[in-house]
Amino acid sequence: MASIGKSIETASDFLKKGQLVAIPTETVYGLAANALDTTAVAGVFEAKNRPVFDPLIIHTYSVIKAKDYVKSIPEPLLKLANAFWPGPLTLLLAKKEIVPDLVTSGLDRVAVRVPNHALTLDLLKSIDFPLAAPSANPFGYVSPTAPEHVNKQLGEKVSYILDGGNCEVGIESTIVGMEEEKVCVYRLGGLATEEIEKIVGKVELKINSSSNPAAPGQLKSHYAPMKQLVLGNITENLSKYKNAAVIYFGEKNFGNAKTEFNLSPDKNLKEAAAKLFSALRKMDESDAEIILCDYLPEEGLGRAINDRLKRAAVK
C-alpha cells in the first residue's frame, strides 16, 4: 500500500525523481508523472496497464503556463479556458516540441487542463514541469474519486497518494478541441455542453468513435465494474435478474433488491455525478451478482453520466 498524506513537498520530491504520485482533482484522482520525462510517463502506462495508443492529459496551473506547452490557443478555446479554468475542461491544442510524443501517442495535439483543486494547484506551482495524469485506475475500470480507491487498486504502484478528500465533481473533464472552424466535444464530462455553448455557440459532438485509436479514450467498454451492469427499466430487470444491486436516482419506485444506492434523492444531477463512481464500486464490492441501473435525464451532467453508464455496461 502507498503512503497517503497531504504533503506537497513529499509529492513534489517523488515527482522530481521521476516517480508516480496520485493527485486529487475536482473530477477524479489522477496518476501523475513528470510529463516532460519520458521514462516517468512510461511508468504511468505500465502501472495502469494502459495501451500506448491512448494519450494522456497534461495538467498545469494557468492559461499562461499552458502556453509553454502549446503553439497557440484558438480564440474560441481561449474563451473557454478563461471562463472555466481551473475546472473540468480539457482542451486539445497543437503541441510544442517539448511535449514528448509518448504523452500524445504521436498525435499533433496535446490535451491540457487546469484542475480545480487547491492542493494540486499548489503542487503544480511548486514544480517546473506539467503533470501527465490519466485517471488513477487500472485501464478500463471505474475511475477513483477518493484516495482509498487509488490505494486499493494501484497502491503498490504509486510512491505517494496526495490526499485531497473526495472529488467534488466525480466524473472526468469534458474534452474540447477544434476541427476547421468548429468547436467539437470529444468526451462528455464534468462541464455540461450547455455551459460551453453559452460561450462559443453550438458545438459538434464527436463522442461515439468506439474502438478507433485515432479518437482514443472513447472506447466502447470503459469505466466498467467487474460485475455485469444492466441498464434500463429497473422494475422489469428486477423480475429478470435475481440477487441484484440497484443504483437509482430520485424516488424509489421498484420492489426489493439485495442492495440499493440512491445517487440523489432530490434528483440533483451534480450530486449524482459526484456519487456515480463510488456507487459503482460499492455495488461491485457487494455480494449481489449483477448491478441494475436506469438512464438519468439526458440533460446537463446527465448526458455525461449516461455516457459513462453505457460504456460501463459493455463487456
> Interface with Mg ion by CB under 5 A: which residues?
135
**Nearer residue to Mg ion within complex by CB, 135 or 264:** 135
Q: How far is the CB of 229 from ligand TXA (least distance, A)?
A: 19
Q: How far is the CB of 51 from ligand TXA (least distance, A)?
A: 10
Q: How far is the CB of 74 from ligand TXA (least distance, A)?
A: 15
**Nearer residue to Mg ion within complex by CB, 135 or 278:** 135
> What residue 216 binds from ligand TXA, Mg ion, none (CB within 5 to 8 A, per partner kind)?
ligand TXA
Instruction: Provide the edge-to-edge strand list for the sheet that holds 21-23.
Output: 3-5, 160-162, 21-23, 30-34, 131-132, 57-59, 109-113, 89-94, 174-179, 182-187, 204-205
> What residue 11 binds from ligand TXA, Mg ion, none (CB within 5 to 8 A, per partner kind)?
none
**Nearer residue to ligand TXA within complex by CB, 71 or 252:** 71
Residue 211 CB contacts under 8 Å (≥ 6 apart), including other chains: 219, 220
**Nearer residue to Mg ion within complex by CB, 7 or 166:** 166
CB count, 10 Å around CB of 152?
14
**Nearer residue to Mg ion within complex by CB, 46 or 299:** 46
**For residue 34, what is its C-alpha cell?**
513528470
Q: How far is the CB of 223 from Mg ion (least distance, A)?
A: 7
DSSP state of 64: H
Q: How far is the CB of 139 from Mg ion (least distance, A)?
A: 8
Q: How far is the CB of 143 from Mg ion (least distance, A)?
A: 5
> What residue 164 binds from Mg ion, ligand TXA, none (CB within 5 to 8 A, per partner kind)?
none
Position 46, amino acid? E
**Nearer residue to ligand TXA within complex by CB, 109 or 282:** 109
> What residue 133 binds from ligand TXA, Mg ion, none (CB within 5 to 8 A, per partner kind)?
ligand TXA
Q: Give the phi and the psi of residue 252 in degrees, each rounded to 5.
A: -80, 125
Using the Cα atoms of residue 196, residue 197, residue 199 and residue 201 in order, give the sign of their dihedral: positive
**Nearer residue to Mg ion within complex by CB, 90 or 135:** 135
- Tell me if 203 sits within 8 A of 80, measured CB to CB: no
Q: How far is the CB of 221 from ligand TXA (least distance, A)?
A: 13
- Quote the CA–CA distance of 162 and 3 in Å, as a whole number: 9
**Three state DSSP letters for 212-251:** CCCCCCCCCCCCECCCEEEECCHHHHHHHCCCEEEEECCC
> What residue 183 binds from ligand TXA, Mg ion, none (CB within 5 to 8 A, per partner kind)?
none
**Nearer residue to ligand TXA within complex by CB, 164 or 248:** 164
> What residue 308 binds from ligand TXA, Mg ion, none (CB within 5 to 8 A, per partner kind)?
none
Q: How far is the CB of 140 from Mg ion (least distance, A)?
A: 9
> What residue 145 binds from ligand TXA, Mg ion, none (CB within 5 to 8 A, per partner kind)?
none
DSSP state of 156: T
> What residue 92 binds from ligand TXA, Mg ion, none (CB within 5 to 8 A, per partner kind)?
ligand TXA
- Tell me if 133 sits within 8 A of 143, measured CB to CB: no
- Quote the CA–CA distance of 65 and 70 in Å, as a whole number: 10
Does residue 259 sit in helix, strand or coil?
A: strand
**For residue 286, what is its C-alpha cell?**
457487494
Residues interacting with ligand TXA, by CB under 6 A?
25, 27-28, 30, 54-57, 90, 92, 104, 107, 109-111, 113, 115, 133-135, 172-173, 175, 187, 216-217
